Copies of this chain bind each other. A is one copy, B any other.
Amino acid sequence: MDKRRITINDIAAHAGVSRSTVSLVLQKHPRIPEETAEKVRQSIAALGYTYNRNAANLRRRTSQAIGLVINDIRNPFFAQLTSAVEERAAEAGYMVYLVESAEQPARQERLLESFIEHDVAGLIVCAATGTPPQAFDRFLAAGIPICMAVRPYPDARLDFAGSDNYGGAKMATQHLIDLGHRRIAFLGGERENPVRIDRLAGYFSGLDARGIAFDPALVVESRPSLTSGVADVNAVMRLEARPTAMLCYNDFVAMGVMHALRCAGLTPGEHMAVVGFDGMPETEITHPPLSTVQLYGRKIGSDAAELLISRIGDPARPPTRRVEQATLIVRASSGRPLNANGE
């Protein structure tokens, strides 16, 4: 088991050339005559040699690994982003270290430290809610490029790739208003989450543009999980003046909300309009199908990977922000209010 690894020295000896020559063959250097190269390649095959990229990286002072920090890989949106990052990175010859912050800044801090130790070429980070300012100063000081993704982060020196959460929420809100709704709740998400802050701002703006007063009782916070929808619905159905529509922080919350409505004997899309956020594939086949603000996780992932790779190649490039439009997908869950036309 503990056999010595085959190195270029072994190849050199076997092929009867020097170490340098082997190295140049590996790099497909044009100066090496085909005959020599072929001899070397045969030795490589014969001995079962594999290149040690870490050793090369150490010598070259480069790295072929990038780090990706997300909160929760089980969220399909982040899963899509991860998948796209991995794909683009592989195309460019990078491997990706995946790491979950679980929304804990202290844990994220440790993970960042270990990325430096492992000498990553760059980082894509969806910052945990509560990440302190200057959290990335060490990387900037060390010249390690960072691209922030998904979660807006107030540091103008950093590249960013994300979605137009504000515009998406505003669109969804106006859609509900145009349907005749006047009391529209905003359910779910945690208060300090910058993504929620943007969506909430879009919601406010959507109400405002149509001259509808904002009622704080209609905004409920919670952890954005499938099961939190129940509590969110209850909070808002207890009100004197109930809402007739619910804009949800994300699709998880919306699916939980639809379930809770049914448990209360209400049919989503009929007794209550429901709109989600993210565009998870499942929304297409819920009962009824869920209206949602479609985001593009894969696109954001590949945006982020591109920005990072381009910055690794050109550290002096000015910071870039890439914000993908959102699309409102209207399905059966968002119908007209009952009292508007007796539907």
A48 within 8 A of B: yes
Instruction: Report A299-325 residues with CB < 8 Å from chain B CB.
Output: 315-316
List, in ascending order, chain B residues with CB within 8 A of A336's CB: none
Supposing A79-B73, A96-B97, A256-B285 touch, asked if A118 and B226 sit within 8 A by C-beta, the answer is no
Known contacts A79-B73, A282-B282; A52 and B117 CB within 8 A of each other: yes
Please, how many residues of chain A have a CB less than 8 angstroms from a CB on the other chain?
60
- Whether B79 pairs with A119 at a CB distance below 8 angstroms is no
**Cross-interface CB contact of A141 among B48, B57, B83, B138, cutoff 8 Å:** B48
Give A5 to B60 CA distance when docked, in angstroms: 13
Task: Write the residues of chain A forming the contact surface with B, with a CB cutoff of 8 angstroms.
Answer: 1-3, 5, 48, 50-55, 57-58, 61, 63-65, 72-74, 76, 79-80, 82-83, 86-87, 90, 95-100, 111, 113-114, 116-119, 138, 141-143, 226-227, 255-256, 258-259, 262, 281-282, 284-287, 315-316
28 interchain pairs, CB-CB under 8 A = A1-B143, A5-B61, A50-B142, A51-B117, A52-B117, A53-B117, A53-B118, A53-B119, A54-B63, A54-B118, A73-B83, A74-B76, A87-B100, A90-B111, A95-B97, A95-B99, A95-B114, A96-B97, A98-B98, A226-B281, A227-B284, A258-B285, A258-B287, A259-B285, A262-B287, A282-B282, A286-B287, A287-B287
